[in-house]
Amino acid sequence: MRTAHPVEREVGIEYYVSDEDGTGGQLRVEPEDFRVRELELFDAEPVDAEPGDYPHLLLRVELRGWDTNDFAKTLSNQLGISRERVSWAGTKDKHAVTTQLFSIKGGDPDDLPELSDVEYEVVGRTGRSILFGDLAGNEFEIRIRDPERPENAAAITEQLQIFAGSHEGNKTEAVGVPNYFGQQRFGSRRPVSHTVGLAIVREEWEQAVMSYVGNASEREPEETQTARRFVDETRDWQEALDRFPNYLGYERSMLHRLAEGSDSEDDFRAALETLPSNLQQLFVHAAQSYLFNLVLSKRLERGLPLHRPVAGDVVCFTDSEAPEGFALPDQDRTQRVTEKRVDSVTRHCERGRAFVTAPLVGTETELGEGEPGEIEREVLDEVGIEPGEFELPGEFNSTGTRRAILVRTALAFETDPLTLSFKLPRGAYATVLLREYLKTDPEAL
């Protein structure tokens, strides 16, 4: 294994599992270099179905160069409705061409606004909004421009095939990587969402706000560094509004609320609650993701396998509703692995019917036993968090779940131009696979 980039280590990603030097190169020079299409699980009634029974309009939307949240905000503004009435199954990157589902409560096809670099396909009507669990996964086609060592893609692929589930070094057809939460979960340029989340879990509302509004990074523009340092030094919220650029809209909304208050803990919490509910949840999810990444890194460090269980592990089984030929973990179907069952559960894992998991810690988390449990408890002790602390007010509360620790996929690549094509289950990050190939600064991913 190779040591990860320093910025990755800030979010718990400690290693590359392929030893070959990276190809180098650039991603997303043009949005068309990064194409993502959702693998859907969501059914709809015809568009002329009774709106009273099926009030949500379901759309398949191709976006070029749009952040998902920005599109939802723009769409709701154009329609003159609350942003909360627009839902989607998965958040996508801005620097890409993405095809994904959106639902609009009370939406009418005739009201859809014309927006630049947006193409709509009306799918039908549904009885509820689309949610994250309605997505099976994503299909990717990614071009790497100007690679320095494109020939290394073959050796990296072979090493990842071995990592996917080898027995005495025999490679599988699929590649495999640790199922880390990717850098964009935390911020590629300024990875702070997990520190905000950890402060929220401890109900340190002031610390949470200052981690987000202040806390400058040398990797961000000088203009925003200066504004954040001013907030850290003065706590002059009103003056800060004149210094924060308009494109930092979330920070500005928090500053507006703070300028109206008296710097009480309730004021700091209220400032956080000016943010969209999905962003509030993201902070706590980022804290859970950071803990998960640390557990996964420690498991790699100790030499525990990812493709098969050891005694004390908790596995989950395949989702029976997943598309044919696409193995999808079902976190609600779990089983603790005893010493007597290691061999039988290993066979399930080899056949793609089960997955070794680690916890996304929440109030209902049951930790593993044996060495896996030791690792999980060690991480929680080091960070100073207990599962019960995730019992939080409002959008911040989380019961927790489990997540597969290895992601496998069939991968095809071409070297001229260097292009990777693959599918990933929902919740898995393309950048976690791409980082093994490029081995570059995560901001470039």
Can you give the pLDDT at residue 90? 85
Whether 60 and 123 have beta carbons less than 8 Å apart is answered as yes
267-279 pLDDT, tens digit per residue, is 999 999 999 887 8
CB-count burial class (<10 Å; 0-12, 13-18, 19+) for 19: exposed
Output the CA–CA distances (angstroms, integers) from residue 204 to 119, 200, 265, 277, 363, in the order listed: 43, 6, 8, 19, 18
pLDDT at 444: 83
What CATH number was assigned to the domain covering residues 32-137?
Answer: 3.30.70.3160
pTM: 0.88
Q: What is the pLDDT of residues 8-27, one digit of tens each?
A: 999 999 999 999 999 999 99
Report the distance separating Cα 298 and Cα 289, nearest Å: 14
Query: Strand, helix or coil at 336?
Result: strand
Distance in angstroms (rounded) separating the CA atoms of residues 208 and 157 = 41
Three-state DSSP state, 140: strand
Residues of the chain with pLDDT under 50: 167-171
What local confidence, expressed as pLDDT, does residue 166 receive? 53
> For 279-404, which CATH superfamily applies?
TruD, catalytic domain (3.30.2350.20)
Active site residue 70: no
pLDDT for the residue 168 = 42
Catalytic residue among 33, 93, 134, 319: 93
Where do the structural domains in the chain lie, given as residue ranges? 2-27+145-179+408-444, 32-137, 195-275, 279-404
Predicted pLDDT at 172: 55
The top-level CATH class assigned to 195-275 is: mainly alpha
Within its chain, how far is the Cα of 339 from the centroid?
A: 33
What is residue 167's predicted lDDT score, i.e. its pLDDT?
44
In 261-369, where does DSSP find H-type helix? 265-272, 277-302, 342-350
User: How much of the chain, in percent, has pLDDT values that exceed 90?
Assistant: 81
Q: 123 phi and psi, to 5 degrees?
A: -90, -40
